[in-house]
Every structure is written in structure tokens, then in C-alpha cells.
Structure 1
Amino acid sequence: MKKSNANISSPSLCHVLRMVAVALVLVLGSTVAVAQGVIRVSGLVLSKSDKEPLMGVNITDVATRRLITTTDADGRYAANVSSNATLRFSMVGAKSQDVKVKGRSTINVMLDDGDNSLGEITVSTKRITDRIMPEPTDIEVKGNYLTVRTRVRVPREMFGHDTRLVVQPVLHNVTKGTLQLMRPMVYDAREYNRTQDRLYNFNMNDTKEGDPLAQWVTVKTNEMREKGRTNDIIGYSDSVYVEHVKDEYSCDVYMAIENYNRILYRDTTIIARGTVNPLRWLDYNFKASETIDPAFLPKPEVQLRDTHGEVKLQFPIGKAKFKTDDPQNMAEIARMRQQIEDISHSEGATLSGLELSGQSSPDGTYKRNMALAQQRMNFALNYLRSQLPESMRQNVDFKSNARVATWDEAIALMRAGGNTDEADRTEERLSRFRSNDSKSHAAYGLPFYRQLLEGKYLPMLRRVDYVLRYSIYRSLTDDEIRQMYNDDYTKLTRFEYFKLYRAETDADKREKMMRQAIEIYPSYLAAANDLEAHLINTHRSDASLLRKFAGARAPQELNVNQMIALLDGGQYTAADSLSQFVDRNDATSMLLAVNDALNGRCADNYATIARTSARNEVVMLLALKRNKEALQQCVNLPDDDAVSHYLRAICLNRADRPIDAYEELKKAFSMDASLKTVATVDGDVNDLLNMDKNN
């Protein structure tokens, strides 16, 4: 496929100058002049033509010939200089300007556009003599490195004995609209180079005080002459790392020829419109796995949980001992014994306390009732102590208290039982008295005392409450974990989070729980890997999640998931580094083969990938530049797929059949309009788009 040498003629003069100047920014550092009467000088450098800030302007001390600093992206600078210094403001593409400091702390400068006249140029009708001609090329993709290889032809008529050519390739990320400088190429005439060396006291390669472009200089020799022609030809190659290899790129070249004091020529051209990368169409979809290695799963854990039981017993009137054969007491005692039995058989359970609250009814004298309540409590305490196994009595805190119920409590029971009238009459009668003894004496005179109060409600106030307090180590149930999560999600342990999110069926809630687990426990490997698996399987991979975990000590499923995420994100070089920690087996063979191919090792993995589909076979053949075979195989691609027609267009264009290729490309666009955007930066087909414009 023939490449076109597209030339940019529309950018403004200052735009071109600034872009060429960017090359210098990479290598120019700032130094501080130390002299008598040193002052701080700062200011702004603008283009005189459009008043725009100029980045990369060199500011040099004329007397010492030392580079002091350069302007930043806003055209500003600041440096310490001698108060009587003369500063030279210069950049490629602009006229230099000398300014005397004269003790001033602020110096703003406007630079004129440089003189671009070439002088005497002989124009030949048979060859180009007035332009620098970098050869069109492709941007090669290998892993996350983009490589540009080209040759630059320099006509003899343009390059005198006192000139320097600066060629600055710039990688343009079309997707994000950003620029990345590549290594500059600097071509010196021999006399110019010798003069530069003398200018820097025969030390132009000094990194601090020498020629800032010295490390990239190639000096003209007879060997640079192109065979059979009068022009020189210089080879160029450089690779740069890019974070997002799936973005689309082009390569611009900015050029300038200068002599000792002015710019003689400048130009810009595009040498590569997009990347030639058929592997962008490689079809793969890997499923991620949750954490399965038990060594990395949170261990089941038991937590200290407090709980209690309660038993209520009834005593006969005036008696300190309850009847063990009373049906209600028998049921209560049986329940208490079962509770103690459960505690004794619970692993890790300990009985921490037995608390009793003894109570008597208010009828009779208060002193006697309190003594009775204490007696009942003592009887109950001893009885319950006897019910405990000997092994559980140790370190148990026995507590008790006794009280006499009030007549107000008896009246409340009557109202609760539906005897409202009797409760009102009792309340009215007893309200006339203050002491408990007087109220008891007055209650005896109520006509319903024996049947209702003594026979029903007062016995309800004669009891001892037993509260068994014990601690038990156990795992929370799913319901308990969920309740604690709803109350405060920060209180869950790793294992409790693990149980919670793995039991959750709602995908959104599950993702939220995993993110919260990682929020609370940043080093929670299992939760991070499970979250990444979920994201990969829903086509939302995030390679940053597992970055700190992946490597030699990580479980296989995590390293596999991280490789998938890195490949999905176009971070092929990082995926390749991680592949050494992934075992090669039936489950991982395809992942490793795709990784190898995307990192430039296509030949060894052709068979593995090609057999997965007709599309992948064509893609691999194109990547290997086996273009004739790719053209033969592309007939097997399904006609109902837009990418099939796109790949056929690539095959036909590489076979120098542009008309047929254009027809296939149109079919692809009609089926999927988004492919037209890709085609504009795809070096395999973007030259066909000119045919589209002409039609």
C-alpha cells in the first residue's frame, strides 16, 4: 500500500514556531547566575504578531554565553542574574532579542517572527530542492511502545556549510488530544558543528553548559549522500512508551534550518496518519474468577456474643419456698435447665453471671414482706446454684436484690386484666393512706379482696426473676450480619463481609458491599479480587484494583484477573510483565497467547489464536504481514459483520487494490458508522478516505 506524504500548510507561523521550540524544552534546564550584584528577574515573553505566550524561549547571558532558563507553557520565566547583565531571548522560529537588565526586576519581551528566506535556492523540475522530505511511514505497535522509523532527505541546495537542521517528531494522541515529544534529530554541517564546539569552549557535549542539542547531533559526512543523488539522507528511529495503546495516534514532524543567528527555513508535515495495528481487531473475551485459593480466603471466625435467659417462678402466700411440682414452676425450671444445658455444650461458652431479683406482694406489713422477699431470693439463689454443673460454677458472679411490690402495681394488674371498676375503687380507697401497712389494712376491707386480689392479682407479684448472663463465642448468622451491616457497615469483620457479599444475589448491592469491604480493609485481597472479577465479567475492568496484590505471592486467579484487566485497558507491557507469574495450562493458554501476540510475539502464537475464529486468523496473518494469505482467508469472514468488510478493505489495500478496498470500506461504514472514526487514524486504510471525499 502506498503512503501519501500529507503536508500541513495551514498552521499559523507562531503555532509552528512554538511546536518546534517544544523540542528544546526537553533538554534545557535552568541555571542560576552567580555574580556581584545578583538580582531576581522575572517576566513574560510574547509573540509580537499575535501576543500569545511563547514556551521554550531560551534566555542566555550574553557575556558568559550560559543558558540561564527557559520560558514555561505560559511564556513566563524567573531567574537570578547579574544586575548589569545583557540577556538574549531566542528560540527556533523567532528573531533573537538582546535586553540589558540595568537593575530591573521585571523584563517583558515581545519576539518578532524569524526571517524564513532561504537565500539562493535552485529549483529543479525533476526533483524537489526547496523542501525537507521525511519519508511517510507507519507507527509500529509493540506492547505499549510505539515506534517511528523514517528517513529524511535534505536537498543539497538547502543545506549550506554554516547550517543546522532540527527535525522534531511529535506523537499525537488523537483520542485524547495530547502531544508527546520523541527524540529530536539534529543534523549539523561540519563547519557549523566546529563553530558550535568553539562557541562552547570545545566542550559542546557538556550536559550543563554545552550545546543543549549536542547529544542528538549527527555531523554531515560524505557517507550521508544518497546513492545516485545529490541530496543527503539521514535515518531516524525512536520508540516511546504510551499508557493507552488503544488510543489512536499520528506522527507530525516539525523542521527548521538555522544558521548562527536566524531561522532560514521551517516546515511541518505528517509522516504517519495513525497506527498500523491489525491486532486492534483481535477478538477475545476472557472470563474472570473469584478467589478460590483457600490460603487467601478469610478464615471462619467466632466472636464474643452476650445473651441472657429469664425464668419466672411463683411462690405461695407467705412462703419462702416455691413448689417444684407446680405446673408453671416445673415448666420454668425445665426451660432454665435446658438453657444451662445448651450453654454447657456450646464450644467456648462461659457462664458469666446469675442475677436474681426477689419480690413479694404488698399485702401485710412492709417489714415482713421485705424479709420474705429476701428469704425467697436466698432460697432461689441456692436452688439455682445447685442446678449448675460444678464446672460452670467457677468464676460465676452471683448477684441478687429483694423488693416489695407496691399497691400501684397491683392496681395496674387489675386494669390490665379488665377489672377496671374494682381497680378504681381500690385506688380511691387506698389513696387516703400513705404508709404501705395502712394501705394493706385498708385493702382487707374491700368486698372483692379475697376473690380478686388475694385469689388472682397478688400472687402475680410474688416471684423471683432469674437472669442467666453468659458469653458464647460463635459465628454470626447471616441475618445477624445483615442487621449489623445495616446498622453500621464499618463494624463488620473481613469474614463477615465475605459471608455477606457472597450470599447477596443482587449484583449492584453485592458490588457495593465489596467496595465497602475494601474501603474498611484496603489490604483485603479476596474482596478486591472478587470485585475485579465482577467488573471484568460486566465489561468494566479496573486494573488499579489489583495492582498492589499481583505478583509472585498472589493466587493464580488474581494474577489471571489482573492480566485480563491490563489487556482490556491496553496496558500490554504491564500484562506481559505479570505473565511470568501465571501458570501455563489449558485454562490460561489462550490468555497467554493473546498477551504474547499483543506484545509483538505473533509468530509463535499464530496457530493457537488463528484456530479460534476466521476473523482472528486474518488478523494474525495481517499482523505477521502475510498479506497474500490474509487476502485468501478473508473470504471466510461472515458477510453480516461490519468488521469483516473492514478487514477485507485492509487486505485489498495492502494488495494494491484500492478501488476494491474502498468498496469494502463503504460496506463496513454502512453497517457500523463508528468505524469511520477508527479509519481516520488507521494507517492501513486512512488513505482510502480521500477517495471517499472525491466521491
Structure 2
Amino acid sequence: MITERLKIWILLLVVAGCGTGTALAQKMVKVSGTVYNIAENRKVPFSDVTVDVYAAKTVAVGEDMKKILDSNDQEKTLLLDQEGKTTTDENGYYEILVPDNGALIFKVGLSPSVLKEVRHQMKIDVSIDEGVMLESVTVTAMRLVLKPEPKAPKMIGNMLIPYNTFKLPPYFGNRFSRLIIQPYVLDCETNDTVTFARPSVYDGKEYALTQERKMGYDMDRDPLRPYIKAEALTTRAMNLDWTDTIIVPDPNRNYSCFAIVNLEDYSASNSRTYQINTCQTKRPMKFLQYNLFSEQMDPLQHKERAQIEKRNTSDKIQLSFLINSDQLTDTPENAQSLAMLRNKLKEIAESPGTVLKEFHVIGTASPDGHYNSNLNLAERRVRKIEQEITSALPRYILERVYRNPHAEVASWEEVVKLLERDGKSTEAGKVKEILAKNKGIEAQGRALKQLDWYPTVIVPYLDELRVVNYNCLYEIYREPNDKEVMAQYREKGLKGSYTRYEYWKLFQLITDEKELEALYRRAYEESLEQKHPWALAGNNLAASYLERDTVDTSILEPLIDLSIHSTDYSRMNADGSRTEIMNRLEVVTNQLCMYIKKGDFEHASVLVKILPEDSKFDLLKAYTWALGGYFQGGTTPEEKERAHKTFETIKASSPQNEVVMYMALDNRAGNAAAKASLAKLPQDSALTWYFKATLSAREGEIEFMNTVIALSECFKRDKSFVATAQNDGEFNEDIIQAAMDMSNL
């Protein structure tokens, strides 16, 4: 029976709503959209259940209507304005008229209603968690009374630590039932299932016996048997605490946790999915200060053996002669050239890696005089020098050498070139005129001798034309020099084919960092294809990646053997013919830094044990243990001692790290110590105020305003902390919104 007081209260509510709408001169708009069911974390339009949609003229009226709908009191609900109500169709679609500054309230079944402010929008889509109902009466009861409040999980390293308490009401279970709680982790960005956690199973005392008697079920073959808890399911109220540690693939992403709660007996099975952890995650180590370094391997300390190759080489010398003679002029240049010639030929003859292919001797006479006499003189000079060559070489070598001696008389045009070389353009022009007027080398010579300056200007140049040129071509097998290696690289680039020795040379010759990294990658990939990973190339490639903050843990994996618990370990190959160095110190150090940057502390905690006992690595080890969460607790005396040392080492590394480590303890003593340590930080820093807000938020609702004020001071100094706080499980939405309002954001 509806009381008169209730009727009057509802009437006043409607009248107030109408009055408000008139005062604000509202504009009616048609709003449409789709209502989605997100039960079991699957977003699909409502199809088998209709959703009631109510229009409220103001947001305040909408909030009052929401309270009535959430009471699930049918008498109060019937008094609401039915003219301002519609329902969704079979596709979850709706249309409704509402003031543009009003509100819409969505209600399905006994689920809590959802209020959406219109704010001049013409399309509003809504998601409602309606739930899965196998046994409607039972599951409805579950939904009303078993509603775990989603908690903010903790992330340390790549370990996600979700937790919650499942508060079972009286008579939720009984001694014939089984309760299965199956948690699973979702990626908040992709909504993909990452992994399933270990289930928790609670059996009533008679569950196994009932299953055996009524269903013939063999409990020894029960796949859930390893997960059955000691505490038995009963009809009394129960608080089931749950927590787990789950390794996630990328600690930089946000994850939430859901749980499928299944209550079953021999006759029925009722299931419901709850969100038990939010996407806002507590990351106590996110403000830890640490500097990782990279270790380059010095090519000079890891020299590669040169591989000799066939090289085509040539040597040239020039010899000058006396006038009208086949005798060499007695000059230091001639003596030096002859000595070099004999030594080179002797070296070729004696070297096992050199083969003489051919030599050419070209004798030249000056054009002064009779042509035939000059040509005969040039031939004698050629024979003279060829005799010098053949006397230095064994007959069996000469038999395999191609020889092509050649004698010639220089033309007067060569004199013109020499004059022009020395800047005597006037004289050169005069000689050109005479040569053009006279044909034949002898006639030209007679005409030139008529010049007054012939003896003083032209004759000295004739000495330069009385020469024998010697050219020797041979093949030599030797290691390439720097110039040859660079010439080949500049010609072919990364598409060229190089020996390991040539790569080793290029590592020292190339100075451009990008070019050098590409060279490291090419050399290392080739070594992997040959099943012989090259530590120098692979390590320096990884070091280059680290220097530009890029992570690829696959690079160094072939160079590390985790079964060997030390660095720089020498071992023989299969046939004992060669030793190889495994787990080079630089390789292990770089791979450890790669794992830390990636957030893979599961592998990092294994690799860090390989590093030697050296103070140089104390801080790197401490970073690894701390970021991986191994800074407190421990099951053995050694683990406890290591955790204590890690905590103290990181705490002492900087004032900021001291605060971070105390806060990471996440207990009253740690919070108190962190609060005291804040005095060591810059008091006007945004980060300092963020720390203050975090510590205040941990005190609970009683410190709400202090938390808001501290967070607001942080936002005023650095707006980027807004996004940080929104993803931080330390703060709820009310705190963040209040801090933003206070900061005028």
C-alpha cells in the first residue's frame, strides 16, 4: 500500500524537475544509442533482455530517480514518469526525447542502474554488467550479496600481485556444494586474456561423498583436486582471502583481474564473473632512480686472424741514360730504383705466396738527331735493362712470365708538354708553330735548332725523354690493408661479401654510429647463419641498442650458457681442437641490462647470479634484485641477507631512492620512514608532493582532504602527473577529480 507521504514526496520530485527545466529553458533532443552487456567481460548488445531507459529533466532529478531504481522497490518505480521512459529493442538499440542538459538512467533487472548526463550529446552508448544467470534465483542472490570490491593490484618487476576477499553471505554454500574461484588476467588495452591464475576450490564436507553416491564420480580423478583448500564450505558466512603472483609479459602495460565464481552441487551449477582488480595498478618502484650502462668489446682486444687473398699488384720504376749511350746516368735516383727493382724481383722469386705474371720494359730516346739512330739506341737501352731483370730471376720463373719489350723515340710534342708543365707558354706556342709548319721528326728537329734559345731552353728537357720505364705485374696472396678494405666497403657497402677479418678491420675504420650498428648487425647475422656466433659483433650490436634505449634480448641469447655459472668460461669444442670463451663478461652485463629494460626480471634474477663478486657490479645487482621485488623477506638465511643488502644498497644510492624503498615496503613502518625521508628531497618538487599525496592516501578516508591538497600541489607544478595518478592504484577517481578541480585543470 502506497502511503500518502510517499505520494507527496514523489509528486514534489516530479514538480521540482519540471520547474528546473522551465527555468533553464531546456531544449529537447532525441538521443539514441546501444546498450551493451559486458557480463563476463564480453561486450555484446542486449538481445534477450530489455533495458529500461528513463529521461530526467535535470541531472539532480536523474540522481534521485537512480536512487529509486536502485532500491528495486516496485511501488516507487511505478510512480516514476512513464511518459519519459522507453526500452531497448532486440538489438539493444533505443531512442528517447530528453532535455539537452538532462540525464538518462538505464536499468536492467536487479543490476545497479547507470546514469549518463546528456550534455548536448545526440548519441550515448552504455555498457552494463548484467551478469550470467544459469539458475536465475540463485545467481540473483549471488549478484546482490556477493560483490567483491575491485582492488588495485601491485606490480613489482614483471610480477603482478592481485588480491581480494570473497565475502560469502550465510547459506551461500552448504556441505554438499563446491565453490570454484577461477581468476584470470586481462590486458587493459587489448582486452585479451593474458593468463589464468591458479583456481581456488572449497568443498563442503559431504560434497565428495554426494558426488560419488549420486553421480558415480571418482574423486581420485578430479582435475581440481590439487587446488582444494583445507577450509570446508559451510552454510555460515565466510571470508575467503585470495592473492597470487602472476608473471606478465610486459610490466609497462596495465592489467586487470577477473574471477569466474562457480557454485555447484550434484544437481545444478551457477556461474558469475566479477572484476576483482582494477586497471589502476600500484607500482611502488616506478620512481626508482637507476642508470644502466652498456659494455663495448674493444676490437683490439679481440683480434681476428687475417685471411690472405690474391691481390693483383704492380710496381713501376723509371731509369735515365747518358746522351747517345745505353749507360745509366750516375744519379742517386737511378741507383735507388735499380736496388728496389732487384730486391722486389728477389722477393717475388722467394715468396711462396707471390706469382710473377708479366713485366714490360719500354725504352725511349729523345727526338734530337736521326730517327733510326735514336730508335736503335732505345732498343739497346731496353736490352740493357731486360738483362738486369732476367739476371735476378731463375729460369723456371722467366719461362712462365709474359714479356713484351718495346723501344720508341719520343716526339717533339712531348717537349711542348714539358714546356707547358713548367709554365713556359710562350716558348711552347712557338714550338707548336714550328711543328705545324714542318712534317717529319727530323725536319722538325732541324727547324727547332734555328731558335736562339734552343740550347738553353729545349736541350735540358731532352734529358727527361731519355728514359726506360719498367712495369711489373704480379699476384700476391696477402692480408688486405686498411685502404683496400675501405675501398671495397665504399664500393659495395653492406651488400658486399667480407671475411671476418675484414669486418674486424671495418669495426675500427667506420666512425658513424648508425653505419657501425648496421655493420655489427650484418656481421653478426652472418655468423649466426654459419652456426658460429661472433661475440664481438653481437655484443657491440647489443651495446649500440642499449645506448639508444632499444631492447632486443634475442641478440645475446646464443652467446650465453646458463648451465655455466660464471663469466669468461673457457671450454674445449667437441673434438678438443679449439677453446671458446662462453659467457663473456661484457655479454652477460649487456644482456642483464636488456632484461631490466624489458622488465623481464624472471630471467634477470637468474643472469645476475653469473656476474662475478666485484664491487663494480654491486649497484647493478641491487637494481636487478630491487626492481624484481627481491628486497624484503626470503625463505633462507642467504635470501634474507641478500634482500637486506639490496634494500640498504638502493636506499643509500640517492635521497629519492630512500623514499621509494621505504614506500615499497607498503607497511606502517615503511610509510612512517618514507614520510621522514621526504625532508631530504626538494620541497617544491612535483614528485615530492606526489610522494606526500601517496603516503596520505594510504591513511584512508580520514586523510582525504590532505591527499587532495598534496596531489593538487603536484598537478600545479607538473601537469604530466595527472596521467600518472590516473593509472596509479594508490588514488581513486574522487581524489584525482577533486585534485584536478582544485588545480583548475
1:614 and 1:636 in contact (8 A); partners too: yes
Structure 1 residue 466: deviation in Å?
Answer: 1.2
Specify the alignment match of 1:529 in structure 2.
539
Specify the alignment match of 1:332 in structure 2.
334
Secondary structure of 1:357's aligned partner: strand
Specify the alignment match of 2:255 in structure 1.
249
Structure 1 residue 589: deviation in Å?
Answer: 0.9
% identity of equivalent residues: 21
Letter matched to residue 542 of structure 2? E
The 5 Å alignment of 1:213-228 reads 215=224, 223-225=232-234
2:671 is the counterpart of 1:642:
no
Q: For structure 2, which runs of at least 5 residues remain unmatched after alignment? A: 1-32, 45-88, 94-130, 420-426, 565-581, 633-642
Q: 259-268 vs 306-315, which deviates more?
A: 259-268
2:159 is the counterpart of 1:145:
yes
Specify the alignment match of 2:653 in structure 1.
612
CA distance in 2, matches of 1:624, 1:404: 96
1:315 and 1:322 in contact (8 A); partners too: yes
Structure 1 residue 224: deviation in Å?
Answer: 1.6
Specify the alignment match of 2:144 in structure 1.
130
2:402 is the counterpart of 1:357:
no
CA distance in 2, matches of 1:442, 1:398: 41
Letter matched to residue 405 of structure 1? E
1:370 and 1:402 in contact (8 A); partners too: no
Specify the alignment match of 1:590 in structure 2.
619
Distance 1:342 1:175, change over 3 A: farther
Structure 1 residue 150: deviation in Å?
Answer: 3.5
Specify the alignment match of 1:27 in structure 2.
none
Secondary structure of 1:683's aligned partner: coil
The 5 Å alignment of 1:80-479 reads 118-119=136-137, 130-134=144-148, 136-137=150-151, 139-141=153-155, 143-155=157-169, 167-174=181-188, 178-183=192-197, 202=217, 215=224, 223-225=232-234, 230-231=236-237, 236-255=242-261, 266=272, 268-292=274-298, 296=302, 298=304, 306-315=312-321, 319=325, 321-325=326-330, 327=331, 330-338=332-340, 352-353=355-356, 355-361=359-365, 373-385=378-390, 399-405=402-408, 409-411=411-413, 413-414=415-416, 417=419, 419=428, 423=432, 426=435, 430=439, 448=449, 463-469=467-473, 471=476, 473=478, 476-477=481-482
Q: 584-593 vs 242-251, which deviates more?
A: 242-251
1:566 and 1:575 in contact (8 A); partners too: yes
Specify the alignment match of 1:547 in structure 2.
557
TM-score by length of 2: 0.62
The 5 Å alignment of 1:616-627 reads 616-627=657-668
Secondary structure of 2:694's aligned partner: helix
Structure 1 residue 612: deviation in Å?
Answer: 1.2
Q: 496-505 vs 191-200, which deviates more?
A: 191-200
Distance 1:308 1:548, change over 3 A: same
TM-score by length of 1: 0.66
CA distance in 1, matches of 2:281, 2:225: 26
Structure 1 residue 583: deviation in Å?
Answer: 0.9
Specify the alignment match of 1:577 in structure 2.
606
Structure with the bigger RCO (C-alpha within 8 Å, sep 6+) is: 1
Structure 1 residue 556: deviation in Å?
Answer: 1.0
Structure 1 residue 279: deviation in Å?
Answer: 1.9
Distance 1:412 1:468, change over 3 A: closer
Distance 1:411 1:507, change over 3 A: closer
Q: 419-428 vs 640-649, which deviates more?
A: 419-428
Letter matched to residue 677 of structure 1? A
Specify the alignment match of 1:97 in structure 2.
none
Specify the alignment match of 2:39 in structure 1.
16
Distance 1:192 1:646, change over 3 A: same
Specify the alignment match of 1:101 in structure 2.
none
Distance 1:133 1:311, change over 3 A: same
Secondary structure of 1:119's aligned partner: helix
Distance 1:485 1:220, change over 3 A: closer
CA distance in 2, matches of 1:306, 1:120: 93
CA distance in 2, matches of 1:580, 1:425: 92
CA distance in 2, matches of 1:218, 1:572: 27
Structure 1 residue 146: deviation in Å?
Answer: 2.2
CA distance in 1, matches of 2:500, 2:206: 73
Specify the alignment match of 1:564 in structure 2.
593
Letter matched to residue 408 of structure 2? A
1:16 and 1:254 in contact (8 A); partners too: no
CA distance in 1, matches of 2:318, 2:517: 48
Secondary structure of 2:727's aligned partner: coil
Letter matched to residue 673 of structure 1? K
1:138 and 1:276 in contact (8 A); partners too: yes
Letter matched to residue 652 of structure 1? S
Distance 1:542 1:646, change over 3 A: farther
Letter matched to residue 629 of structure 2? G
Secondary structure of 1:548's aligned partner: helix
Structure 1 residue 615: deviation in Å?
Answer: 2.2
Structure 1 residue 587: deviation in Å?
Answer: 0.4
Letter matched to residue 562 of structure 1? Q
Specify the alignment match of 2:736 in structure 1.
689
Distance 1:581 1:650, change over 3 A: same
CA distance in 2, matches of 1:615, 1:242: 27
Structure 1 residue 498: deviation in Å?
Answer: 4.6
Letter matched to residue 648 of structure 1? K
CA distance in 1, matches of 2:546, 2:138: 64
2:299 and 2:507 in contact (8 A); partners too: no
CA distance in 2, matches of 1:459, 1:293: 53
Distance 1:131 1:404, change over 3 A: same
Structure 1 residue 577: deviation in Å?
Answer: 1.7
CA distance in 2, matches of 1:148, 1:358: 91
Letter matched to residue 470 of structure 2? Y
Letter matched to residue 634 of structure 1? K
Pairwise CA RMSD of aligned residues? Answer: 5.1
Distance 1:667 1:313, change over 3 A: same
1:134 and 1:153 in contact (8 A); partners too: yes
CA distance in 1, matches of 2:557, 2:377: 73
2:307 and 2:499 in contact (8 A); partners too: no
CA distance in 1, matches of 2:225, 2:242: 11
The number of equivalent residue pairs is: 570
1:152 and 1:235 in contact (8 A); partners too: yes
